[in-house]
Structure 1
Amino acid sequence: MKILVIGTGYVGSTTAMVFAELGWKVTGLDTDVHKIRQLRQGLLHFHEPGLEDLLKKHIQSGQIKFTTDKDKAIQESDVIFICVGTPSRPDGSADLRFVKQVASEIGQKMNGYKLVVTKSTVPVGTQELVTGWIEAAQEHFYPFDVASNPEFLREGKAVTDALNPDRIVIGSESKRATNLLKSLYHSVKCPFVITTPRTAELIKYASNAFLATKISYINELARLCDELNVNVKDVAGGIGLDPRIGSSFLQAGIGYGGSCFPKDVSALILTARQNNIELSVLEKVVKVNQTQHSYLTDKARTRLGSFSGKKIAILGLAFKPDTDDIREAPALRIIESLLNERAQLRLYDPIATLPHDAKYESVAVCLEVEEALKEADAVFLCTEWPIIRGIDWAQMKDVMAHGNVFDGRNILNAHDMQALGYYYQSIGSND
């Protein structure tokens, strides 16, 4: 069975490499000639631990190849995974133009039965739309099925998650399609959730929205902990031992970011509104997340008096460690807020970089932590990279002009920092 993965971004590249690792012949298709050229050379165009090793392994083994030839790729495939982007529109809805374009091209170029699988995160009802788009584009009738098989990958842990999933969700009305998809995953040991396409699509959104809810819940609780002189880390540890709650996603900080949670929560809220349902809990989740970074900058402003003219270091740009993804990263919100108040910024991240089209004044990008901290009036810790966790703060005390540390990820120990003579402010764990 030959697999085609359309779209070689984060989800598509991971999907292609993992199916190659599972023993299938895989083709990756993209219209971006530069991306395809890089992939053919064994070079990944984003940072994801372990994925480039799989890429090089399976290019060499011949299990995977990459192309821009749509006609040949579609006609030679048995199963086609749609892994293109579904960015947010201004109103929060998912933009399906790339999914529609791919579905139409499949309809035009197919030459026999195809199983088409939406791997992209899409609104409820998209499977029906994809079916209609393929049918409308067919010049000659060929049978096909459209199924939903959402991904549940964590950036920075994608290879582990894909090879050792906690569940595989298959949404299909067709027994043939269901059996085909199950056969692709035959060597994977985990529970299978076999359901309708609409249910599968909603499971993906509901999963991300629930995890986002846990983050905003602990972040809002951290604000109360500050007022009560209670350590939110101890609270999170205590409630996380309850198996009904669990310890994951209970780390207080400056909020969630990335390509999934902000987009998916907004899309789910909009879907509810379109069906005359109010998801008030999720609306509050979004509000907390949008204001969480300002909770820390407000505390910094109280300490510094004003940001104008202050030299401030930002350590960490990525929304989480082990990724170069800065989409919706809280660090960017902090940067924008500080620049609006005329601060002088020095930025450091071991992997992530500012957008190529970003034109920030009063910003210097540094290659070393010490360079960013040199003569700084304050520092904001925005990503919990190991190199940032491991900073020798005793040594950095003489590097900074003033020892003001604002820990947006609760990385450090308040007592240790205060003993070194720093003014230390975290979120809900300053005791």
Structure 2
Amino acid sequence: MNLDDSIVSVDQATVRFNIASEKVDNLKEYFIKLAKHQLYFEEFFALKDISLNIKKGESWGLIGRNGAGKSTLLKLICGILTPYKGSIAVRGSIAPLIELGAGLDPRLTAGENIFLNGALLGHSKRYMQEHFDEIVEFADLGNFLDMPIKNYSSGMRARLGFSIATTVSPDILIVDEVLAVGDAAFRKKCERRMERMLSSGTTLLFVSHSEREVERLCKNAIWLDRGEIVMSGSAEKVCFEYTETLKSSEQKKCAIPGTNITFLNLTIVGAGYVGLVTAVAFASMGYETTCIDTDHEKISALQKGKCPLFEPQLDEMLKYHADRLHFTTEPQIAYDNADAIIVAVGTPEKEDGEVDLSYVQRALQDIAENVKQECRVVIKSTVPVGTNRSVKEYLEQNCRPEATIHVVSNPEFLSQGSAVHDMLHAHRIVIGADTEEDAQFMEKLYRPFNLPIVSVGCASAEMIKYASNDFLALKISYINEIANLCERTSADINEVTVGMSKDPRIGAAFLKAGVGYGGSCFPKDTKALHWLAASNEYELKTVRAAIEVNERQKLKLIEKAQKFYPNFKDLTITFLGVTFKPNTDDLREAPSLVNARYLISKGARIKAWDPCGRERFKEAIGDGVQICGTIEEALNDSDICMIFTEWDEIRNVEITKFAHYMKRPIVLDGRNCFETSDIQQKEIIYDSIGRDTIYSDRGYNE
């Protein structure tokens, strides 16, 4: 190996980890067992005899499944890990973007973190001062410099980390999927900067689950599997061989050599958020996947390569894995030779809160009529406890005589706006199986994902889904109740949640006060569990309270607006954000809907802006809503502004624009997008959730 012009050289490097052969619940038990020699370890080789030679200015992409060793190799190059054997030599400075938020202190503001992270990268304070404005401008975080980054979204943290790391062109830039959480516009911005850095001689090491991104940004690629290099060379050739290996027909029914991975024919029932994300995730792992839906218009769009809904990364993955994705409305085609049928149809609520299983029942009828082989029916839809037992009984009684159908529960835990990432990097895969054979089948099905698996009985799996979602809904309603009390006692909910979140028993997740939860899960699942309890002659008082609190909280901004206007007739009211959360176009149970209908009924005119959901909002509300193309247009000549969604575009609005464009600058922030300290002296009235109202002479007296 010629190392003269190498910037990174790895020679026969092996990384070994020792993993305890049994689960230990706490640190005390660990040390007791260790002292008594009762703890045994198994060797796990994350990398095996890796050798590679990277020259200055080259661009290398790393591809492979989860657990293939990509991140371990990058950490080895960065010096975070040392090889168990072999050697590594790095000749140059490194800017590592390996983990989201690495090197950032959540307690500090963005401005403070710029200097902290710069120091960690070896830059002087003077250097960071000179480049401070450049970093802030590129990250587009000017309005949030004084905000602790614990309050930042994942996309905002990614923007800050990338901006700091790339202020100067390092010898080596390492990017490990941290940009997957950023918005599309910022990812393009980052790609342009990386291309400029490459042209100036920077060496790039890049990891992505999208082989297309690797081909676009890198000239070379390394394919890793189970800690070993399968292939290295030109990015185009390596990515082609990788995808061809995954989709090759002769490997669908046999294990990939050297692994325990088996490819099967999958059918996904339902082309909604859950169904499409599930389909592209399995296709990306090499499975031949067919998706069936009764919506002919939606299937037609998918067959033409058009994504019918907005979900980050979904459109790109649909296009890239098109060779392994098939869409149909015909049950005979969808169920022919399927090894597993994953049911991911909607389960909406009825008026009394009971789950409507009519879509599931229709899917089961088609399955019973068309399946002629042995297969597993996997219920991924959210269904009441006991549904899988009923499904099994129905299929046993109604399936064709030549068919053998097993039933398994596999609930989903996807969050809209990050569903693709959640599917590929799940905290756990829950499998509900009442036989060991079914459990083993599902474990093999998910083996390519290399994710933790929790295997339980079907009823327990069904309950895990409801118990998990309802607990999070309880947490949201609880903190909203505390926020409402804060407003009456001059406490600040942001300060309260910081103090609470330091307790590991509580944590920081789902402690963000606002105007209530919405979407397709929490509202429906809380009502469903409450109904299920009632039907079993038990009352879940906590869940009932969460439902009631949330319904009241949705109208919190109406309550606040009534402090400034005795009635809403002939007022122009701006809605900034209408979807139930950022990074989705979903309006189901969105607080904006009930507020709009109420205000229009009282004679108000609504002007709405949202980057993704405004057209659907217009369809849902109809007359009385003016859809605006820009935030400025929405604010112009408005009597009051209501913020319902914490989109980054809204967080980044210059606060002075409210006073500049609005007739009377009254801002009611239902998502606490701004720090109250930033509002002082800005000539607006600012009323948020769980914090003191900020008054200005202009806004109050006009």
Q: TM-score, normalised by structure 2?
A: 0.60
Residue pair 1:29, 1:70 contacting (<8 A) in 2 also: yes
- 1:395 deviates by 3.2
- Per the alignment, residue 67 of structure 1 pairs with 328
**1:135-174 maps to which residues of 2 (within 5 A)?**
135-174=396-435
One-letter code aligned to 1:363: V
- 1:356 deviates by 6.4
- Per the alignment, residue 347 of structure 1 pairs with 608
- 1:357 deviates by 4.8
- Per the alignment, residue 661 of structure 2 pairs with 399
Structure 1 counterpart SS, 2:466: helix
Matched residues in 2 for 1:185 and 1:314: separation? 43
Structure 2 residues without counterparts, runs of 5 or longer = 1-263, 694-702
Matched residues in 1 for 2:287 and 2:330: separation? 20
List per-residue Cα deviations over 1:256-286 (Å, max 9, x = no partner). 0000000010000000001111100110100
Matched residues in 2 for 1:365 and 1:142: separation? 53
List per-residue Cα deviations over 1:357-403 (Å, max 9, x = no partner). 53543321111111111110110011000111111121341211011
List per-residue Cα deviations over 1:211-253 (Å, max 9, x = no partner). 0011100101001101111110111111112111110111100
- 1:85 deviates by 0.9
- Per the alignment, residue 15 of structure 1 pairs with 278
Structure 2 counterpart SS, 1:409: coil
One-letter code aligned to 1:89: K
Matched residues in 2 for 1:382 and 1:356: separation? 16
List per-residue Cα deviations over 1:87-136 (Å, max 9, x = no partner). 11111111111111111211111111110000100010110111122123
One-letter code aligned to 1:37: S
Matched residues in 2 for 1:47 and 1:295: separation? 28
One-letter code aligned to 2:557: L
- Per the alignment, residue 201 of structure 1 pairs with 462
**1:309-328 maps to which residues of 2 (within 5 A)?**
309-328=570-589
- Worse-matched range after superposition: 150-159 or 410-419: 410-419
- Per the alignment, residue 113 of structure 1 pairs with 374
Structure with the larger strand share: 2
Matched residues in 1 for 2:669 and 2:633: separation? 19
Structure 1 residue 302 corresponds to structure 2 residue 563: yes
One-letter code aligned to 2:560: K
Residue pair 2:430, 2:456 contacting (<8 A) in 1 also: yes
One-letter code aligned to 2:686: Y
Matched residues in 1 for 2:534 and 2:310: separation? 36
- Per the alignment, residue 312 of structure 2 pairs with 49
Matched residues in 2 for 1:279 and 1:7: separation? 31
**1:366-405 maps to which residues of 2 (within 5 A)?**
366-405=628-667
One-letter code aligned to 2:683: G
Structure 2 counterpart SS, 1:108: helix
Structure 2 counterpart SS, 1:17: helix
Are the structure 2 counterparts of residues 357 and 412 from structure 1 closer, same or farther at C-alpha, using a change threshold of 3 Å? closer
Residue pair 1:312, 1:346 contacting (<8 A) in 2 also: yes
Instruction: Tell me the percent identity.
Output: 40
- 1:422 deviates by 0.5
List per-residue Cα deviations over 1:307-339 (Å, max 9, x = no partner). 121111011110000000000001112112212
Residue pair 1:145, 1:174 contacting (<8 A) in 2 also: no
Matched residues in 2 for 1:295 and 1:346: separation? 19
Are the structure 2 counterparts of residues 49 and 273 from structure 1 closer, same or farther at C-alpha, using a change threshold of 3 Å? same
Matched residues in 2 for 1:359 and 1:317: separation? 11
Structure 2 counterpart SS, 1:397: helix
- Per the alignment, residue 523 of structure 2 pairs with 262
Matched residues in 2 for 1:48 and 1:371: separation? 26
**1:73-88 maps to which residues of 2 (within 5 A)?**
73-88=334-349
Matched residues in 2 for 1:110 and 1:121: separation? 23
Residue pair 1:253, 1:410 contacting (<8 A) in 2 also: yes
- Per the alignment, residue 508 of structure 2 pairs with 247
- Worse-matched range after superposition: 279-288 or 173-182: 173-182
Higher Cα Rg: structure 1 or 2? 2
Residue pair 2:433, 2:458 contacting (<8 A) in 1 also: yes
Structure 1 residue 58 corresponds to structure 2 residue 311: no
Structure 1 residue 3 corresponds to structure 2 residue 266: yes
Matched residues in 1 for 2:682 and 2:635: separation? 16
Residue pair 2:618, 2:625 contacting (<8 A) in 1 also: no
Are the structure 2 counterparts of residues 359 and 240 from structure 1 closer, same or farther at C-alpha, using a change threshold of 3 Å? closer
Residue pair 1:105, 1:137 contacting (<8 A) in 2 also: no
Residue pair 1:100, 1:133 contacting (<8 A) in 2 also: no
- 1:293 deviates by 2.5
Matched residues in 1 for 2:519 and 2:594: separation? 13
Structure 1 counterpart SS, 2:406: strand
One-letter code aligned to 2:343: I
Matched residues in 1 for 2:283 and 2:271: separation? 14
- 1:40 deviates by 1.8
Matched residues in 2 for 1:302 and 1:282: separation? 31
One-letter code aligned to 2:525: D
- 1:141 deviates by 4.5
Matched residues in 2 for 1:156 and 1:38: separation? 21
Matched residues in 2 for 1:188 and 1:56: separation? 20
Matched residues in 1 for 2:629 and 2:600: separation? 21
Q: State how many pairs are aligned.
A: 429
- Per the alignment, residue 217 of structure 2 pairs with none
Structure 1 counterpart SS, 2:341: strand
- 1:187 deviates by 2.5
Matched residues in 2 for 1:271 and 1:66: separation? 35
Matched residues in 2 for 1:376 and 1:83: separation? 43
- Worse-matched range after superposition: 133-142 or 303-312: 133-142
- 1:137 deviates by 2.1
Matched residues in 1 for 2:623 and 2:341: separation? 45
List per-residue Cα deviations over 1:39-81 (Å, max 9, x = no partner). 122211111000111100110xx22111222112212211000
Structure 1 residue 277 corresponds to structure 2 residue 532: no
Structure 2 counterpart SS, 1:384: coil
- Per the alignment, residue 395 of structure 2 pairs with 134
Residue pair 2:368, 2:395 contacting (<8 A) in 1 also: yes
Matched residues in 2 for 1:424 and 1:329: separation? 22
- Per the alignment, residue 413 of structure 1 pairs with 675
- Worse-matched range after superposition: 346-355 or 112-121: 346-355
Structure 1 counterpart SS, 2:302: helix
Q: Aligned match of 1:189 in 436, 450, 468?
A: 450
Matched residues in 2 for 1:297 and 1:334: separation? 7
Higher relative CO (CA 8 A, sep ≥ 6), structure 1 or 2? 1
Structure 1 residues without counterparts, runs of 5 or longer = none
Matched residues in 1 for 2:295 and 2:634: separation? 35
Residue pair 2:596, 2:621 contacting (<8 A) in 1 also: no
Matched residues in 2 for 1:271 and 1:310: separation? 43
Q: TM-score, normalised by structure 1?
A: 0.97
Matched residues in 2 for 1:174 and 1:275: separation? 27
Q: Which runs of 4+ in 1 moved over 4 A?
A: none
